[in-house]
Amino acid sequence: MTIVKTIDPIETEAIRQIRSRIVGISKRQKLVWGPAARGLADELKHIFRDIKRNVSDRKKGITLLLFFFTTEKSILNHCDDSSGLVSDVFKEEGVSLFLNYAVPFEDRRWLAIHLVRKCLEDMEGALPILLENAVTYLTEDNVREMMEKLWGYAEDTQEEIVRDNCLEAIEILAIAMDDAVEYEKAYRARMGELHHAAVLQIGEMHLRSGKPKLALEWAQKATENKNFEASAADALLCRIYTALGEKEKARELDYRLFREYRTAKRFRELLDRIGEKSEFVAIDREEEIILQDQGLHYSDAQFLFDVGSIKVAAEYLIARRDKINGKDYAYILPLARLMAKENRYLCATVLYRALLEDILLKKKPKNYMYGVRYLGVLDMFGPFIIDWRGIEPHSEYRARIKEQHQLKSAFWSLFQQYQKEKGWT
């Protein structure tokens, strides 16, 4: 008995209307600027939601989505998408909906063929993400067939852009399959030589596919160029050494990576990872290393504070006060507030002075109110500091600042007003 698939007229009409809306948006000539981009993004989201709500047939849903993705470039060409709001709709809502249809879809060969056709057109927007996820909705044989067809198109075409699209698609599929050999072949065909990032990628793929020794060879090649992505190479090496059971080498690299940018969160993750028994011993060791470095790193001061070494953090900043620059207010102000909260008034004074002096030197009246508040804070801290430890006492500092910047009448007028409001005069 032959089973005849019925056509749902309601679904067919819904698809026609949705397709018409997509075409209408893609043909708009008026440029979309600024806040209007959010409106366009919302409009696109509504279309994806309407597809999900009205199209139950997976094949029709996939077909409609692939058509929608072909319009992405045209839509973005008439839109200021510097915020990424519009393109993110395709990459998030669009890709998610595509996977909803594609994962349970049975005619995988049909889907693979249509994806290949899409690759020939362009490799922008959501398509690379669809290919990255290909192994979730296609079989290995499907992906291999796709790569074979793409190689054929790449070799036969006379158009460089089509050739590059095909090779880029092969690279993405090879990464998804952890096929380092295919990836290297496609990358060399497209770029001529392996660049540093590609070398790292090949090492990563060998590691994921259970070949740590081969991964080590490629990672070591990547470390030869220490001027580019050294941290990424070290991170890969660390994982490789762990896979090879070389715990001491992995530990050494783990610490090196952590010390490039210390945070309390990364510190505790590191200790858990390497099985460090005593956090206190590890903190003492980091304190010693940090204090030996004569440079100034605000992240190190923040790290010391966050792991409870507040006194050491204060001493670290005081000892490097000549290197503190008020222009780094995004780092200085949080530290100044923390030190004040912990009654580390000398350290807080050093930090607030840097902020105040930067404002006065820049001669930007619009920022004077911040400087007024900082000077008010310094006035409050002064009486609490008994030992200035060679740092200019507040009364002398206040007199010097007043003399050096006496011509900034707007600042001093604001400060007098501030004092009256606080009841200090």
* pLDDT tens per residue across span 112-171: 999 999 999 889 899 999 999 999 999 999 999 999 999 999 999 999 999 999 999 999
Residue among 255, 168, 240 nearest 200 (CA): 240
253 Cβ partners below 8 Å, 6+ apart?
234, 235, 237, 238, 241
Nearby residues of 53 by Cβ (< 8 Å), 6 or more positions away: none
With beta carbons less than 8 A apart as the criterion, state whether 115 and 80 touch.
no
Of 185, 179, 143, the residue nearest 167 (C-alpha):
185
Would you state the pLDDT for residue 91? 95
Instruction: Tokens for 393, please give them.
Output: 């006492």
In angstroms, the CA 51 to CA 47 distance is: 6
Residues of the chain with pLDDT under 70: 1-8, 225-229, 424-425
The phi, psi pair for 79, rounded to 5°, reads -145, 135
Q: What residue type is assigned to position 70 of the chain?
A: T
**What's residue 164's pLDDT?**
96
Q: How far apart are CA 255 and CA 262, in angstroms?
A: 10
Token pair of 289 as six digits = 């290393």
Contact 170, 182 (CB under 8 A): yes
- Which tokens hold the place of 341? 């909260």
DSSP state of 105: -
Are the C-beta atoms of residues 244 and 212 closer than 8 Å to each other?
Answer: yes
Q: What value does the CA radius of gyration of the chain take, rounded to a whole number of Å? A: 31
Cβ contacts of residue 8 below 8 Å, gap of 6+? 56, 57
The residues, any chain, with a CB within 8 Å of residue 72's CB and separated by 6 or more, are 87, 90, 124, 125, 126
Residues 6+ apart with CB under 8 A from 424: 376, 379
pLDDT of residue 228: 55
Q: How wide is the angle at C-alpha 358 spanned by C-alphas 353 and 361, nearest 5°?
A: 120
Amino acid at 29: Q
Task: Note the pTM of the prediction, 2 decimals.
Answer: 0.76
What is the residue whose two structure tokens read 């047939």? 57
Write down the pLDDT at residue 3: 39
Alpha-helical (H) ranges within 30-179 are 36-54, 58-70, 72-77, 85-89, 95-102, 108-121, 127-132, 140-156, 160-177
Q: Which residues contact 207 (CB under 8 A, 6 or more apart)?
A: 215, 236, 239, 240, 243
Bridge partners (DSSP) of residue 79 are 32
How high is the pLDDT of residue 227? 56
Kindly report the backbone phi and psi dihedral angles of residue 281, in degrees, each rounded to the nearest multiple of 5, phi listed first. Answer: -65, -45
Evaluate whether 271 touches 282 at the Cβ level (below 8 Å). yes
Helix locations, 192-246, DSSP H: 196-208, 212-223, 230-243
The interaxial angle of helices 160-177 and 196-208, nearest 10 deg, is 30
